[in-house]
C-alpha cells in the first residue's frame, strides 16, 4: 500500500498483489474479517491487535462526518454527536434505546421512545432533571450488543446519527427522531471516549456550567414557539409526505395488471394473480435467521437447516472408519495420509482431485477428506474451492450420512434430500474431473453423485393491509425478493445486517400504520385442501426490493 497525498489528504494506493482484511471499527463489535482474497490466515494475536486498534481509534481518530451539537440539528441530517449517556433500555430484539445529552437543547420537539419505566436504566432523579435536554437515540442491529454494554455516565461519540422528521401525531405535533442505523457504512458506530480526551474535557466543563433551572423553563416556552419553528421546514415535510407515497418494492413483470383491493381479493375464488398496493403491518418470523429453510424442488419438502453440532457429531462418528490404503492415489486423485500426534492418533486422509493428471491451484481444487474434525474441514474450505467429507468402504469412497452436508464451498454447506437422493460412489466425480475445464459447481457435483440438491430459501409470512382488508401472504424466495442469496445469509454478518435493515425499512419498529411505506407486490392465490378443510392461501411473486431501500 503506497501512501500519497492527494488534494491535501492522505490516500492509499494499491497495486497488483494487494490483499486486505478489514474489520468493523466499533469497540465491542464482533471480529469478523471482510476479505479481498479467498486465502488468508487470522491468528489470535491479530484479533487482540484489532481490539487494541479499536480502542485507540475511538480516542484518537475522528471519522469523517460533520460534528454537530443538539442545538444545531436539522431534519434529514447525518452527523456525529459527542455526548454523555444518562439512560438506556431494550426496545425489542433488533433495537436499543440510548438517552444522551450534550448540554444544548434540540430546537425541535424530539421523539420519546415508549419504554416501560422498569426497563429504563439510569438515575431516575437525573433523568427527570434533564428530560428537556436529553434526546432518545434508537440504535439498530449490529450496534445493539455494544449499546447494551455501555455504562451509564460514560462519554460517547456516536457516528452518523440520522435525524428524521416524523409526521404529526394525534395532537398535530411533529417531532424529530434520532436513529443509528445498522451496518458500518459511512462510519456508523459508537465509540466510548476516555475522560482524558480533549473533546470530553471540554464537554464535561460545559455540562457542569449548564443551568438546569433554565432548561425547565424552556418546556413551557417550546410549546409557544412550536408553530413558528416548523414553518421553516414545510418543504421537508412535503418531501417526506411524497416519499411515503412511493413504493419500496419493484415489480419485475406483469406490468399490464392494475391494482386490486385486498377486500376484493379476499372475496374472490382461487387460483388467480393480482397486483396490490399495501403496507406491511407485521411479519414472521421476527428472528430473521429462522426464515431460512432447505427446500427440495422434487418432493416439495421443507426442512430446517441443521446446526453445526449435528455435522460435528457425524464427522466424529466417521473417524472410527479407518481409511482404506487401497483406495489411495488413483488415476484421478492423489492422496496424502498422516496420523495426528494427540492421544487419539486419528488417521486423516486428503484426496486431491487432479486435472490432466496434474494437481490444480487450491482455488480451483476439489478435495475429499476422511477422518477430519469440523475445525479441520472449515480450515480447508478457506483454502480450496470444494471440500467433500467421505469415508472408505471396501471398494470405493462414499459420502457420509445425508444429515451432513455432502459438499462445502466457501462458507456454504450443501445438503441433499434424503428422500429423493440415490447416492452414487465417489468415482462418479471422475467424469467431471476429465472435462476440459471442470467448474465444480454444486449442481453439477450433486447430479454426478446422485444427490437431489436442497436449496436454501426464505420462508416468511407478511401481514399486508391497504385500508380495505388484511391478508397473510407467504414469501417463498431464493434470492430475488431481498436481492440476497438465501444460501449465504447464515454465514455472512454483513448480509444479515442488510436484511434486518431492509425489514426495518418495510416495517419500522414502533411506527404507526400511517407512517409505514407502501409496497407494490404481485400475489397469487391458490387452494390448499386436505381431508378436513379447504383454505385459500396467498404467495408473493415477481417482486423485489428497490435498490435504494438499503
Model confidence pLDDT, tens digit, residues 439-477: 889 999 999 999 999 999 999 999 999 989 999 999 998
Q: Is 537 domain-assigned?
A: yes
Nearest to 327 by CA among 390, 406, 374: 390
Do 465 and 418 fall within a single domain? Answer: no
Do 493 and 523 fall within a single domain? Answer: yes
**Phi/psi of residue 545, nearest 5 degrees:** -75, 135
Nearest to 299 by CA among 419, 416, 448: 419
Location of C-alpha cell 472408519? 321
Cα 68–chain centre separation: 29
Q: Is 502 domain-assigned?
A: yes
- The DSSP bridge pattern shows strands 412-414 and 9-13 to be unpaired
Do 192 and 123 fall within a single domain? Answer: yes
DSSP secondary structure letter of residue 141: G
For the chain, give the percent of residues with pLDDT over 90.
33
Do 471 and 445 fall within a single domain? Answer: no
Task: Name the CA dihedral angle for 359, 364, 370, 374, rounded to a multiple of 10 degrees.
Answer: 150
Do 283 and 388 fall within a single domain? Answer: no
Q: Is 138 domain-assigned?
A: yes
Cα(437)–Cα(364) distance, integer angstroms: 10
Q: What local confidence, expressed as pLDDT, does residue 167 receive?
A: 62
Nearest to 240 by CA among 169, 164, 179: 164
Q: Is 221 domain-assigned?
A: no
Q: Is 322 domain-assigned?
A: yes
Q: Are 26 and 189 in contact (CB under 8 A)?
A: yes
Q: Is 158 helix (H, G, I), strand (E, B) or coil?
A: strand
Do 323 and 433 fall within a single domain? Answer: yes
Handedness of CA 103, 109, 110, 112 (dihedral sign): positive
Nearest to 547 by CA among 294, 197, 300, 250: 250
Q: Name the E strands within 77-148.
A: 77-92, 95-101, 135-140
**Phi/psi of residue 274, nearest 5 degrees:** -140, 155
Nearest to 510 by CA among 256, 71, 177: 177
Q: What local confidence, expressed as pLDDT, does residue 245 receive?
A: 45
Residue 260 CB contacts under 8 Å (≥ 6 apart), including other chains: 274, 275, 276
Q: What local confidence, expressed as pLDDT, does residue 242 receive?
A: 39
Q: What local confidence, expressed as pLDDT, does residue 478 receive?
A: 86
Residue ending a domain, choose from 161, 193, 209: 209
Q: What local confidence, expressed as pLDDT, does residue 299 receive?
A: 92
Cα(211)–Cα(118) distance, integer angstroms: 28
Do 266 and 187 fall within a single domain? Answer: no
Do 34 and 100 fall within a single domain? Answer: no
Residue ending a domain, choose from 31, 60, 89: 60
Please confirm whether the linkage preceding 271 is cis (ω < 30° from 0): yes
pLDDT single digits (tens) 111-162: 888 887 788 999 888 888 888 899 999 998 888 888 999 999 999 999 889 8
Do 283 and 317 fall within a single domain? Answer: no
Q: What local confidence, expressed as pLDDT, does residue 255 receive?
A: 65
CATH for 480: 2.40.50.140
Do 32 and 93 fall within a single domain? Answer: no
Q: Is 413 domain-assigned?
A: yes
Q: Are 101 and 134 in contact (CB under 8 A)?
A: yes
Residue ending a domain, choose from 427, 451, 475: 451
pLDDT tens for the chain, residues 1 to 550: 888 877 667 788 888 778 888 887 776 667 777 776 667 788 888 888 988 888 777 666 655 556 789 988 888 888 889 999 999 998 876 789 999 999 999 988 898 888 877 889 998 888 888 888 999 999 988 888 889 999 999 999 998 898 988 765 555 567 889 999 887 766 788 988 888 888 899 999 999 888 765 444 434 333 323 232 223 333 333 333 433 444 577 676 666 778 999 999 999 998 999 999 999 999 999 888 889 999 999 999 999 998 877 888 888 888 778 888 899 999 899 999 888 877 778 889 999 998 877 877 888 889 999 988 888 898 899 889 999 999 998 888 999 889 999 999 988 999 999 999 999 999 999 988 888 778 889 999 999 999 999 999 999 999 999 989 999 999 998 888 888 889 888 888 888 888 888 888 888 888 888 888 888 899 999 998 877 788 899 999 988 887 655 5
First and final CA of the chain: distance in angstroms? 31
Q: Are 183 and 494 in contact (CB under 8 A)?
A: yes
Q: Are 88 and 99 in contact (CB under 8 A)?
A: yes
Do 266 and 398 fall within a single domain? Answer: no
Q: What local confidence, expressed as pLDDT, does residue 537 receive?
A: 93
Q: Are 156 and 191 in contact (CB under 8 A)?
A: yes
Tally of domains within the chain: 4
Do 403 and 334 fall within a single domain? Answer: yes
Q: Are 100 and 134 in contact (CB under 8 A)?
A: yes
Q: Is 124 domain-assigned?
A: yes
Q: Is 506 domain-assigned?
A: yes
Helices within 210-319 (DSSP H only): 212-231, 234-245, 262-266, 308-318
Location of C-alpha cell 462526518? 65
- The pTM of the full predicted model, rounded to 2 decimals, is 0.55
Helices within 85-140 (DSSP H only): 124-129
- Residue 323 structural domain: 304-451
Amino acid at each position: 500500500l503506497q501512501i500519497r497525498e492527494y488534494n491535501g489528504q492522505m490516500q492509499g494506493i494499491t497495486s497488483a498483489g494487494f490483499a486486505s482484511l478489514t474489520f468493523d471499527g466499533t469497540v465491542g463489535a464482533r471480529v469478523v474479517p471482510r476479505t479481498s482474497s479467498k486465502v488468508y490466515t487470522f491468528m489470535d494475536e491479530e484479533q487482540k491487535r484489532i481490539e487494541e486498534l479499536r480502542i485507540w481509534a475511538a480516542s484518537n481518530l475522528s471519522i469523517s462526518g460533520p460534528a454537530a451539537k443538539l442545538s444545531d440539528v436539522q431534519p434529514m441530517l447525518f452527523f456525529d454527536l459527542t455526548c454523555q449517556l444518562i439512560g438506556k433500555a431494550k426496545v425489542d430484539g433488533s433495537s436499543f434505546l440510548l438517552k444522551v445529552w450534550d448540554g444544548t437543547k434540540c430546537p425541535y420537539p424530539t421523539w420519546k421512545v415508549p419504554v416501560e419505566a422498569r426497563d429504563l436504566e439510569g438515575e431516575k432523579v437525573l433523568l427527570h432533571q434533564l428530560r428537556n435536554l436529553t434526546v432518545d437515540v434508537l440504535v439498530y442491529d449490529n450496534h445493539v450488543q455494544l449499546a447494551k454494554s455501555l455504562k451509564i455516565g460514560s462519554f460517547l461519540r456516536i457516528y452518523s446519527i440520522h435525524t428524521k422528521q416524523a409526521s404529526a401525531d394525534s395532537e398535530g405535533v411533529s417531532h424529530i427522531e434520532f436513529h443509528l442505523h445498522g451496518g458500518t457504512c459511512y462510519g456508523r458506530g459508537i465509540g466510548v471516549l476516555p475522560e482524558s480526551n480533549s473533546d470530553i474535557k471540554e464537554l464535561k466543563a460545559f455540562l457542569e456550567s449548564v443551568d438546569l433551572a433554565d432548561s425547565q423553563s424552556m418546556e413551557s416556552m417550546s410549546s409557544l414557539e412550536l408553530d413558528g419553528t416548523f414553518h421553516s421546514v414545510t418543504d421537508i415535510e412535503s418531501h417526506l409526505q411524497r416519499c411515503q407515497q412511493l413504493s419500496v418494492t419493484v415489480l419485475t413483470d406483469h406490468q399490464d395488471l392494475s391494482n386490486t383491493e385486498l377486500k376484493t381479493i379476499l372475496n374472490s375464488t382461487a387460483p388467480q394473480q393480482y397486483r396490490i398496493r399495501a403496507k406491511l403491518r407485521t411479519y414472521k418470523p421476527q428472528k430473521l435467521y429462522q426464515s431460512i429453510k432447505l427446500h427440495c424442488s422434487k418432493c416439495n419438502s421443507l426442512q430446517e437447516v441443521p446446526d453445526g453440532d449435528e455435522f460435528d457429531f457425524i464427522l466424529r462418528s466417521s473417524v472410527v472408519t479407518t481409511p482404506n490404503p487401497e483406495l489411495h492415489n488413483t488415476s484421478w486423485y492423489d492422496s496424502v495420509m498422516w496420523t495426528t500426534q494427540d492421544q487419539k492418533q486419528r488417521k486423516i486422509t486428503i484426496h486431491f482431485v487432479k486435472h490432466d493428471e496434474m494437481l490444480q491451484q487450491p482455488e480451483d481444487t476439489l478435495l475429499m477428506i476422511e477422518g477430519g474434525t469440523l475445525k479441520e474441514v472449515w480450515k480447508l474450505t478457506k483454502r480450496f474451492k470444494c471440500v467433500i467429507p467421505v469415508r472408505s468402504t471396501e471398494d470405493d469412497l462414499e459420502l457420509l450420512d445425508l444429515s451432513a452436508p455432502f459438499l462445502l464451498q466457501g462458507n456454504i454447506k450443501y445438503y441433499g434430500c434424503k428422500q429423493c437422493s440415490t447416492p452414487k460412489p465417489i468415482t462418479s466425480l471422475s467424469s467431471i474431473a476429465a472435462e476440459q475445464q471442470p467448474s465444480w459447481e454444486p449442481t453439477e457435483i450433486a447430479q454426478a453423485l446422485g444427490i437431489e440438491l436442497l436449496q436454501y430459501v426464505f420462508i416468511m409470512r407478511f401481514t399486508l393491509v391497504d385500508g380495505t382488508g388484511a391478508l397473510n401472504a407467504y414469501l417463498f424466495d431464493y434470492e430475488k425478493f431481498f436481492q440476497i442469496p438465501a444460501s449465504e445469509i447464515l454465514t455472512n454478518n454483513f448480509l444479515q445486517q442488510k436484511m434486518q435493515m431492509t425489514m426495518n425499512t418495510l416495517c419500522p419498529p414502533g411506527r404507526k400504520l400511517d407512517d409505514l411505506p407502501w409496497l407494490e407486490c404481485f400475489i397469487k392465490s391458490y387452494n390448499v385442501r386436505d381431508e378436513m378443510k379447504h383454505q385459500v392461501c396467498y404467495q408473493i411473486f415477481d417482486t423485489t426490493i428497490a435498490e435504494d431501500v438499503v
